[in-house]
Amino acid sequence: MTSHWINGWRLTGLLSVLLTLMVIAIVGLHDFSIDGIRMAIRATARTSLILFLPVFAASALARLWPGDATRWLRRNRRYLGVSFAASHGLHAIVIAAFAIGDPALFRSMTSIGTLISGGSAYLVIMAMAATSFDRAVSWLGPRNWRALHWLGGWYIAVSFIVTNAKRIPDMPLYWLPVVLVLAAIALRLVSWWQGRRAPRMASAPV
């Protein structure tokens, strides 16, 4: 498994290229219309969640179910985390295209609250992505790095719950992403609880 080439920054590069192609395909197939741009906003929000969840749950999964797959995931969580940031960067780019292409509709779908909470989530994501390099880790120090990534992970998890939950009244299927995030949180809590009961084995924070 370790010799497999889809690891590390190659994994990030591959996923970023695929995500960019996905956005170009969605927008292009819809003649660069606002509908296509909005579809790409939704698609990138979903790919972001798909990438975020395994990163957020990586340590818990590796502790609860040690094995090749969970070890691979824990080893690559940094690279999947930066891929999540790339996916959310694309979310921001298509959001900007929406705001420029149809400012009235964009304003009707967003509020100052959305811009502040979404904007601060972006600051957190940028801070986490920028500190995902060895140099930055040693510059920050392991304690600060852990605190930033711990807090940031929880902030993003809550952001996903809120952004999906507010759509449930219009479409009940939005329960699915909410339940997935809650399941990842439950895994972290169970793993933390087990770590507390056997502190010698592992004592990472939740």
Contact 51, 18 (CB under 8 A): no
Rounded CA-CA distance 118/159 in Å is 8
Buried b / exposed e along 117-133 (16+ C-beta atoms within 10 A): bbeebbebbebbbebbe
Subset of 142-201 contacting ligand HEM (CB under 6 A): 156, 159-160, 163-164
Neighbouring residues of 188: CB distance < 8 A, sequence distance ≥ 6:
56, 57, 59, 60, 206
Distance in Å, CB of 172 to ligand HEM, minimum: 13
Q: Does residue 130 belong to the site contacting ligand HEM (CB under 6 A)? A: no
- Is 115 near ligand HEM (CB under 6 A)? yes
Q: With CB under 6 A, what is the number of residues at the site for ligand HEM?
A: 20
Residue nearest to ligand HEM as judged by C-beta position: 118
Q: Which amino acid is at 46?
A: R
**Residue 111 or residue 203: which is nearer to ligand HEM going by CB?**
111
| Alpha carbons 51 and 148: distance in angstroms, whole number | 19
Q: Which is nearer to ligand HEM, 101 or 118 (CB)?
A: 118
**Which range binds ligand HEM by CB under 6 A, 15-23, 67-75, 110-118, 188-196?**
110-118
Among 69, 154, 161, 159, which Cα is nearest to 116's?
159
Instruction: Name which of 59 and 163 has its Cβ closer to ligand HEM.
Output: 163
- In order, the DSSP letters of 116-161 are HHHHHHHHHHHHHHHT-SHHHHHHH-HHHHHHHHHHHHHHHHHHHH
- Contact track, ligand HEM, 33-72, x by CB under 6 A: -----x--xx--xx--------------------------
Q: At its nearest, how many Å lie between ligand HEM and the CB of residue 159?
A: 4
Nearest distance, CB of residue 117 and ligand HEM, angstroms: 8
Assigned token pair, 46: 């979903």
- Pick from 114, 138, 144, 203: which binds ligand HEM (CB under 6 A)? 114
- Using CB under 6 A as the binding rule, whether residue 87 contacts ligand HEM is answered as no
Residues near ligand HEM (CB under 6 A) are 38, 41-42, 45-46, 91, 95, 109-110, 114-115, 118-119, 121-122, 156, 159-160, 163-164
